[in-house]
């Protein structure tokens, strides 16, 4: 995996907008599982297959998946992160999480998370990372002042919480209650 160029980063953001939040801006409709035919996607975004493949292959978070359906038609979708306004079922089976997962967030969210836990807000799921460095990167997207929470995922699963693992390794769950959270690291 190589770093994306500035133009590829812009394209990746545009792809995320269309596949995760607002497919209608490109005149597209996602199927029930978030897929759209690659040919339709290329036409709607006015890009080449080479440009698409470079962004998909080199995206640091593997945000996109390309696969052929039973009908042989190649399709693309976002691996996770869809807004609630986009009705999709990623059809991810329940998965047994590791004992501990992590969530990085701006320090400004600390009090509300201690009080209410982690909520998906405008997304379908809460996103969790497998390690502290990844959680720090995620948290730093919005602020340099980051807190990393340790999530007692194994205990949550034992208590009946359902977890899913997306194709790019992000762990998803509907909510993380305050009692399953502790501060792992602060970055000031």
Distance, CA of 128 to CA of 154 (rounded, Å): 13
Tracing tokens 């996607």 back to the chain, one arrives at: 41
Bridge partners of 104? 148
What's the average model confidence in pLDDT over 1-28? 88
Mean pLDDT of all residues belonging to the chain = 90
Task: Name the more confident of 86 and 27.
Answer: 27
Query: Which whole-number Å values give the CA distances from 27 to 47, 52, 121, in the listed order?
Result: 15, 18, 26
Write down the pLDDT at residue 80. Answer: 78
Distance, CA of 62 to CA of 48 (rounded, Å): 19
Distance, CA of 45 to CA of 77 (rounded, Å): 14
Percent of the chain with pLDDT over 90: 66
Write down the pLDDT at residue 2. Answer: 55
- Whether 188 has a pLDDT exceeding 70, the answer reads no
**With b meaning 16 or more CB within 10 Å and e meaning fewer, what string describes 67-76?**
eeeeeeeebb
Percent of the chain with pLDDT over 70: 96
pLDDT digits (tens, 9 = 90+) for 114-143: 999 999 887 778 989 999 999 998 888 888
Write down the pLDDT at residue 62. Answer: 78
pLDDT digits (tens, 9 = 90+) for 153-171: 999 999 999 999 988 889 9
> In the numeric block, which tokens belong to residue 53?
């493949």
Give backbone dihedrals phi and psi of 61, rounded to 5 degrees, phi first: -115, 10
Write down the pLDDT at residue 187. Answer: 60
Question: Which pTM value belongs to this model?
Answer: 0.74
Write down the pLDDT at residue 142. Answer: 80
Q: Which domains does the chain have, with CATH numbers?
A: 6-78 (1.10.10.970), 101-187 (3.20.170.30)
């Amino acid at each position: 995996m190589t770093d994306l160029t500035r133009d590829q980063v812009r394209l990746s953001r545009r792809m995320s907008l269309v596949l995760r939040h607002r497919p209608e801006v490109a005149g597209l409709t996602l199927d029930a599982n978030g897929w759209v035919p690659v040919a339709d996607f290329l036409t709607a975004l006015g890009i080449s297959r080479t440009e698409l493949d470079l962004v998909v292959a080199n995206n640091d978070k593997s945000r996109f998946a390309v696969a052929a359906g039973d009908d042989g038609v190649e399709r693309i979708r976002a691996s996770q992160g869809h807004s609630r306004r986009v009705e999709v079922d990623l059809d991810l089976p329940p998965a047994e999480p590791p004992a501990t997962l992590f969530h990085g967030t701006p320090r400004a969210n600390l009090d509300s998370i201690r009080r209410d836990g982690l909520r998906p807000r405008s997304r379908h799921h809460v996103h969790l990372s497998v390690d502290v460095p990844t959680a720090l990167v995620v948290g730093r997207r919005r602020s340099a002042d980051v807190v990393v929470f340790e999530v007692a995922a194994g205990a949550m699963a034992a208590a009946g919480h359902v977890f899913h693992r997306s194709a790019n390794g992000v762990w998803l769950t509907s909510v993380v209650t305050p009692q399953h959270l502790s501060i792992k690291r602060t970055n000031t």
